[in-house]
Amino acid sequence: MTPALRRIGSFLLPLAISMVLMLAIWYLFLAVFPQVGPRVGKSPQDVWNYLFTGPASGTARSNLLDNLQITLRDAGVGFAAGMLAALAVAAVFVVFRSIEQTFLPVAMLLRSVPLVALTPIVVLIFGRGVVGVAVLAGIVVFFPALVMIMVGLRAAPRQSQELVEAYGGSRWTALRLVAIPAALPSVFAAARISVPGALIGALIGEWLGSGSGLGSSLIKAIPRYQYNELWASIAIVTIVSILLYAIVGVLENIVLARFGPDAGKSA
């Protein structure tokens, strides 16, 4: 077995175990809290019947997938924008310490503001469409990714960067040739953590802003007593989050197996 396959297998096995445990916890929750009742509390079997074997499963599945497509679009745009912005800002902060000292405290202060409180302002500025929802998803992605990428860039070996500078390279050249390869594990770790965060940001934006996608349908299902739809939507969001996390993790292991876990840490 190649090193890449070994890395991927060791990464995916805990995720598979986690999904099995989640199903067990789901059943256990319904058993421990019988007051929830079968009308409100739906089991995995109920969700399966609602989506695949029930009389209206085709319509239910089609509606859920349509909403999921909207949410994935919103989350995808936010994730890409947030990660690119975090990488660019982290590079500027690492190269220019004075800019970091000026703006990083402001960024951390903004991060402390609850996303629900920011939503009305974001919707007012960017509107209720895909841009406004993507901005909210990007905000969730940006701040944790910024900190993690900065740590990775700063972990690059100083000797290698000085060697690049000794041969006439600028700080940006040292960043590109040494710091960014050295920060690959941190970049991928930030991406893995940010994928579920982008989905959460998109769901909140759809709930409070656009009125479309899974974020909106989840809330609308409660007053309509559509608990099958509610539980099915939650299950789909959870499964998709795990799958996207797994995809990023597989890409991470392929890249790091190609370049090595210490990529960029030798001259």
> What per-residue confidence (pLDDT) applies to 267?
37
Mean pLDDT score, 217-239: 91
For residue 53, give every residue at least 6 positions away whose Cβ sits within 8 Å of its Cβ, in sequence order, or none: none
Tens digit of each residue's pLDDT (9 = 90 or more) over 75-84: 999 999 999 9
Q: For the chain, which domains are there?
A: 3-259 (1.10.3720.10)
Tens digit of each residue's pLDDT (9 = 90 or more) over 97-153: 888 888 888 888 877 888 888 888 888 888 888 898 999 999 999 999 999 999 999
Q: Compute the distance between CA of residue 56 and CA of residue 130 in angstroms, rounded to an integer.
A: 30
CB atoms within 10 A of CB 35: 7
Tokens 């310490």 -> residue? 97
> What per-residue confidence (pLDDT) applies to 257?
75
Query: Which pTM does this prediction carry?
Result: 0.84
> What's the CA angle centered on 252, arms 159 and 242, to 5 degrees?
140
Task: Give the residue, 200 or 171, on which the prediction is more confident.
Answer: 200
